[in-house]
Homo-oligomer: A and B are copies of this chain.
Amino acid sequence: MHFIARTSVSGVVEREFQLGEITGVLWSPESHSEGAPLILLGHSGGMHKKAPNLVTMARHFATESGYRVAAIDAPGHGDRPRNAEDQRWAEALHVARAAGEPMDSIIADYNTSLAERAAPEWQATLDALQALPEIGPDAPIGYGGITLGTVIGMWLTAVEPRIQAATVEQRVFDALFDIARKITVPLTFQVAWNDAEIDRRPSFDLFEAFASEDKTLLATPGRHNQMSKTQPDFAAAFLRHHLGR
C-alpha cells in the first residue's frame, strides 16, 4: 500500500493510496485516533471513492465519532480503467435509460460481477490497512455503502468476519436475497419511502431476509438519493453503539 497524496482540512487528514490496481483513500481524525474504529465506505454506481456524499459521510464519521474511514474505487470506476465487458454493461444501461426500458437485469448482472471482484479487493485493502501500525488488527470495523456500494458491502459482509456492523440500502435486485440470508451482523437498512423508480415492498422482503438479529429499517420520505439530513447521525449512532467510542 503506497500513499500518493496527503491533504488536511478542518481536522481531518485525507490520504490517497494505491494497492496494486486498487485506488483508495483513507480519512483520519488529526488527533485522538489511537484504537479508532475503521469504517469502509462503498460509493454508488458510476461514482468514485471521493464522491461528494461519500466525503461528507467520511468527514462526519471522522469529526463526530473520531473514526478512520476508507473508500476504494470499484473496478472500472474513478481512477481505474474500465474493461470491455464493463463498458458494454455501462452502454447497455445508458441505452435502456434513454429508451425508458427496464434496467433491472442489466443492473443485476453488472453489479453482481462488480461485487464478485470488489469483495476480494476490499479484503486485500483491509489486510493492508490492518498492517499499518496506526490501525492494527484490533480496530473494530464497520461497512457503509449506497446503491452499488450496498451490493458490494453485502457481498463482502457475507464472507468477511472482520466486518462487525453494516449500514446498507434498499433492495437493488433479487440475487441479494441469497446474500442477505448469510449476513448475521447488526445492520441498518435504509429505504426511500417515495421513489418512483423503486417500489419499497421488495425492500421490506429483503429486510426480512437478513439473518441479523439486530437490524433496523430506516425509512424516510423522498427518493433514494434524497436522504434525510438526520441519516448520517443515525448511521453514526448505530456504528458507535456496535463499534464503540
1/0 per residue A215-244: CB within 8 Å of B? 111111100000011110110111011100
Q: Is A127 an interface residue (CB 8 A)?
A: no
Max chain B C-beta neighbours (<10 A), residue from A217, A218, A237:
A237
User: CB < 8 Å: which of B214, B215, B228, B242 contacts A216?
Assistant: B228
- Interfacial chain B residues near A208, Cβ < 8 Å: 193
The count of residues in chain A whose C-beta lies closer than 8 Å to any C-beta of chain B is: 25
> Which residues on B sit within 8 Å (CB–CB) of A240?
233
Q: A186 on the interface (CB 8 Å rule)?
A: yes
CB-CB under 8 A from A221, the residues of chain B are: 213, 215
Residue of B nearest to A200 (CB): B204
Task: Give complex CA distance A32, B60 in Å.
Answer: 25
**Contact partner, A230, options B217, B228, B230, B238, Cβ 8 Å:** B238
In the complex, are the beta carbons of A186 and B230 less than 8 A apart?
yes
CB contact under 8 A between A229 and B214, given known A234-B234, A234-B238:
yes
- Residues of B close to A219: CB separation below 8 A: 207, 216-217, 219
Q: Kindly name the residue among A216, A217, A228, A231 whose own CB sees the greatest number of chain B CB atoms within 10 A.
A: A216
Whether B230 lies near A214 (C-beta < 8 A) is yes
Q: Is the CB of B220 within 8 A of A230?
A: no
- Whose C-beta in chain B lies nearest to the C-beta of A220? B216
Which residue of B has the minimal Cβ distance to A191? B217
| CB contact under 8 A between A233 and B238, given known A215-B220, A217-B218 | yes
- In the complex, what's the smallest C-beta–C-beta distance from A209 to chain B, in angstroms? 12
Report the separation of the CA atoms of residues A150 and B120 in the bound assembly, to the nearest whole angstrom: 47
Q: How far is the CA of A74 from the CA of B207 in the complex (A)?
A: 36
Complex Cα spacing A220 to B234, Å: 14
Q: A54 CA to B219 CA in the complex, in Å?
A: 25
> Can you list 15 residue pairs at the A/B interface with Cβ under 8 Å?
A186-B230, A193-B207, A193-B217, A207-B219, A215-B220, A216-B218, A216-B219, A216-B220, A216-B231, A217-B217, A217-B219, A218-B218, A230-B242, A234-B237, A236-B237
Q: Which residues of A contact B (CB under 8 A)?
A: 186, 193, 207-208, 213-221, 228-231, 233-234, 236-238, 240-242
Using A186-B230, A216-B219 as known contacts, list a sample of 7 further A-B pairs with CB atoms less than 8 Å apart, ordered by residue number in A: A193-B208, A213-B221, A216-B218, A216-B230, A217-B218, A233-B240, A234-B234
